[in-house]
Amino acid sequence: MTRSPLLRWPLLVGLSVLAQLAAAWLGTAAAQSLAIGAGSVQLTPKGRDQPPPRAPWRADAALKQAVPTSQWYSTLVFNPKPDPIYAQPLAFQATAAGLAMSLPRKRVVPTERQDVEIHYPHDAALTFRPEAFEPEPAKLARVSDWAIDIAVARGADQLLATVAHGSPYAYFRLNRGDVRIDLAEAGERLNSAADPRTLLLRVKGQTFAVFGPTGVRWEPASATRWIGRLPAGAGHFSATALPDDRPETLALLARHAYAFVQDTQVEGRYDAAASAVETTFTATVQVMEGPDHGPLLGLYPHHWHNNPSVAGRLGPSYDTVRGPLRLLAASSFKTTRPYTGFVPHWPRLAEGPRLEELNDHLKRDLRRRRELIPARENADNWRVSAYWQGKGLTRATQLAAIAEQQGDLAARDQLLGIARERIEWWLGGQAARSYLRWDQSMGAVVAYPDEFFHVEQLNDFHFWFGYWIRAAAEIALRDPAWAAPERWGGMVNLLVDNIASTDRSRTKFPRLRNFDPYEGHSWAVGIGGAGEYGALGNNQESSSEALNAWAGLILWGEATGNPAVRDLGVYLLTTEIDAIEHYWFDLHRLVFAPEYKNVETSMVFGGKYAHNTWWTDEPRQIHGINLLPIASFSTYLARDPAYIRRNLAAMEEETKAYRQRGKFPPNPPPADIWQDIFAKYLAMADPAAALAGWNPNGSIESGDTRTHTLHWILSLQALGTPDLTVRADTPLYAVFKRPDGQRSYLAYNAGKSTLKVTFTDGKVLEVAPGTLGQLR
């Protein structure tokens, strides 16, 4: 098969929707809604609903683009006094005094949970500001894939700073006058810099270097202030923090200090034949003076670990919250990671001692089918937001797939009908309180009613709409006409663009809204920081719900015959899985500090990681939030069966300690809360133990059913646990291996002709159109 290009594709909504949008605005300035296929999106809020926050702190190119929400730097555009931004290894904060820079250091912070959090907070060491003018609040001026420009300006005067993920430098351009550098405390100038262009300072026990242009004069104004006298027409300089005191490290940083990063691009490519994703990272530079030595790029662990292409080429290392960040003298590098696949659902269970029990659960869940999705609108507004509705859609569509595989097509059609009706009701735009609104000035589609600050802070877009896209894909696999753009597919495509537009112009939506292509994972908070925790940067809690969204893109692309969307989903899913295994689970033992004794982290921030949640410190929910929803794409969790056992054993010990502390909320959750999630998780390592421990009458997570839990466990007993070592040349596949070594091979064909699937161990499976094929 051919290798599909990724991350250069146009906006997925299509020209027809954009034409409708233009007509709506040109035809009537008072338009309240926009029809897209059979659906409709509001253009203004209804009733007393409030719009999302404005983002006025933008300049130049950024002012002409959709607002970049849920990124590591998003705080800059929403706040005249923004929180710190964590570029790694450096951190920055725009303040009234100028742009402050730091090299964060580890702090071990004890908690009332009797564990610790690991913080790497911004602690300003140097602050840069122009001498010739008093700047206004900083603004975001330009964005590329992993670098940004920050403008500190007044009128035509400007100090422009470029900061980037992984870069050991901040790059500055000042159009007039000199630069002032304020030190956080009295510092010492070191004499080891032979080049007069270099100002080498020791501040707060760390070494910083500023590399000025030829002809610069560094003059001390006080014990805490330096002035850089910049020659006319040469207002460039860069600044760095040294990871160590070795002369060769300073020489390396000085050698590359004048190659200023201008642009950054990440391009992924799904190689279906190899079932792999190759990602290329490229930085374009402008050499400000001297020879072109190229840039220095800082590689995170998920870049350099198990990457032969950079082996033997890496230099000094920074200690960061993401683990060792290692320097590479190059303008480009590549990573290649396996895509381990999944299928929409698992096959029929035709035999087994608990088959009758499964059928009984299915009948009971079917009798309560109208309860699977929360009521559309109710008086207390509880669980009517698009988030809970999306989880309900997951319950209904997963149950429909089981009914289908077990041969009850009437039940399948009833369940899909309920899901279809609810999606159409929301996307139709006719309800008073439950609707979607496209705020075009922001480049964001939001869902009302608001919850979890989804509208107020533009939070959790990929979580909320990922559930909807995946449920719509399940319908589309069985009813392609329903998913046509002129019917309901246009609205679903709008949601796809809302969370994962690949348009580099960024005119309608921000590019890859939640996803950070360099860190390799998503961010959840739209405005960049979260209240008192904003000082530690953006964050993401439920990494598994992010993956649910990317799995939804794969299914939607396959169901609608759109390989661009499908391949985008493969890239996002594969990349974020790799990041999760490093930064949430630390499977490779490269990231967590030795003081951090928890087996996982449930919250990853720009400047910390912690074992907690936003709403409770109850251990079962802390562990479960990065597992749910457990669905067919969740087989990535089976990569390390021993880790599954360690994770669950740690949860049990933490739960005992939690109960001994006696700190319970007013309405405590069930003692076995989310026991279905943990049974399914354990089943990927030990199905028999999972079945023995699962309580059929126990608690059920709100996106799950007893039928799906039992079907999951029994399927793994029959098929074996996931085998991620065998791959296939099609996106929808899965392989399982029993204890006796027998493998089962699955592949789904969403196309219209027979599909021949070749697995990497030589097995071949032919799959009829619209079916799930199986080979033993």
Type of residue at 305? H
Which of these is catalytic: 545, 654, 676, 729? 545
Please say if 112 is a catalytic residue: no
Contacts 24+ apart (CB under 8 A), 76-80: 76/138, 76/139, 76/140, 76/148, 76/150, 76/528, 77/139, 77/140, 77/528, 78/53, 78/54, 78/527, 78/528, 79/527, 79/528, 80/137
Please say if 586 is a catalytic residue: no
Q: Which residues does 380 contact at the CB level (< 8 Å), separation at least 6? A: none
Q: Which two tokens stand for residue 264?
A: 């950054």
Q: Provide the phi-psi class of 177: left if phi over 0, else alpha when psi is between -120 and 50, else beta.
A: left
Q: Please, what sign has the CA dihedral across residues 361, 366, 370, 373?
A: positive
Which of these is catalytic: 182, 451, 460, 474? 460
Helix (H/G/I), strand (E/B), else coil: 532: helix
Which of these is catalytic: 404, 439, 450, 541? 541
Helix (H/G/I), strand (E/B), else coil: 475: helix
Whole-angstrom Cα Rg for the chain: 27
Helix (H/G/I), strand (E/B), else coil: 584: coil
Cβ contact 284:263 at 8 Å = yes
Q: How far is CA 75 from the centre of its chain?
A: 17
In whole angstroms, give the CA distance from residue 24 to residue 22. Answer: 5
Partner residues linked to 498 by β-bridges: none
Please say if 545 is a catalytic residue: yes
Q: Which DSSP category does 530 fall into?
A: -
Q: Which residues does 530 contact at the CB level (< 8 Å), separation at least 6? A: 457, 538, 539
Task: Specify burial of residue 1 (Cβ count, 10 A radius: 0-12, 13-18, 19+).
Answer: exposed
Q: Which residue in the block uniquely carries the two structure tokens 């270097």? A: 209
Catalytic residue numbers? Answer: 460, 541, 545
